[in-house]
């Protein structure tokens, strides 16, 4: 059994209705793709091809899922499990509201930023576990771009704040690993 298989089995114990589905098979996912491309003025054109999305307890995966390594799938699933736990904690309606509204749907989406930040901390932790602390530290640019760029609708366009969050998360992960880099 692969690491992904073992982790998926654990996830299904915690979330019995959880399943994985291809984005391209869903009219809703294709519509979200078009809507995001329009409202971000083309800034988010990779929703169907690069982004994994948990919605209503389903992990919607792009075609690239099939080509991912076992380790990369495991790290991704750790991130997405955080979203499933958030959904369980908040419920679908409140989570959708927090994700989409406060303060604004674009450019200053603090609710979305905090929801995503909780999951990205797990990405940093899982990356350190699987690939080492150096690999986790190398995620900084990618994560800062996600938060401050068009792919998440410029959800928190303050790179210094995101860098500070990253520094704090990385320090915590380093402490968990005995300070080794």
Chain segment 138-180, per-residue pLDDT in tens: 999 999 999 999 988 899 999 999 999 999 999 999 998 876 5
Region for residue 149 given its phi and psi (left: phi exceeds 0; alpha: psi -120 to 50; beta: otherwise): beta
> In the predicted model, what is the mean pLDDT of residues 55-81?
95
Chain segment 104-133, per-residue pLDDT in tens: 777 899 999 999 999 999 999 999 999 999
CB atoms within 10 A of CB 23: 22
Residue 11's alpha-carbon distances to 22, 52, 82, 115, 129, in angstroms, are 18, 16, 11, 19, 18
* Rg value, the chain, Cα: 16
Residue 181: pLDDT above 50? no
Provide CB contacts within 8 A for 161, sequence distance 6+.
Answer: none
3-state secondary structure (DSSP) of residue 52: coil
Q: What is the pLDDT of residue 36?
A: 86
pTM: 0.91
68-72, 97-101, 142-146, 172-176, range with the lowest pLDDT: 97-101
Confidence of residue 63 (pLDDT cuts 50, 70, 90): confident
Look at residues 95, 98, 30 and name the one whose alpha carbon lies nearest to residue 56: 95
Q: In the chain, where are the structural domains located?
A: 3-176
Q: What is the percent of the chain where pLDDT is above 90?
A: 73
Signed CA dihedral, 138, 144, 149, 150: sign only: positive
Backbone phi, psi, residue 26, to 5°:
-110, 125
Q: What is the pLDDT of residue 148?
A: 95
> In the predicted model, what is the mean pLDDT of residues 26-46?
90
Look at residues 76, 78, 102 and name the one whose alpha carbon lies nearest to residue 90: 102
Mean pLDDT of the residues in the chain: 92
Residue 34: pLDDT above 60? yes
CA 157 centroid distance within chain = 17
């Amino acid at each position: 059994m692969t690491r992904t298989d073992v982790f998926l089995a654990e996830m299904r114990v915690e979330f019995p209705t959880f399943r994985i589905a291809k984005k391209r098979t869903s009219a809703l996912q294709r519509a979200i793709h078009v809507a995001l491309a329009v409202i971000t003025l083309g800034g988010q054109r990779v929703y169907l091809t690069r982004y994994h999305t948990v919605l209503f307890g389903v992990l919607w995966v792009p075609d690239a899922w099939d080509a991912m390594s076992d380790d990369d799938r495991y790290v991704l699933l750790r991130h997405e499990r955080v979203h499933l736990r958030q959904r369980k904690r908040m419920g679908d309606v409140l989570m959708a509201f927090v994700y989409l509204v406060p303060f604004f749907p674009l450019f200053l989406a603090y609710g979305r930023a905090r929801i995503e930040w909780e999951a990205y901390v797990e990405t940093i932790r899982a990356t350190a576990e699987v690939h080492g602390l150096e690999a986790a530290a190398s995620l900084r640019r990618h994560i800062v771009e996600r938060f401050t760029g068009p792919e998440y609708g410029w959800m928190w366009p303050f790179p210094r704040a995101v860098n500070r969050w990253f520094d704090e998360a990385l320090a915590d992960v380093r402490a968990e690993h005995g300070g080794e880099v």
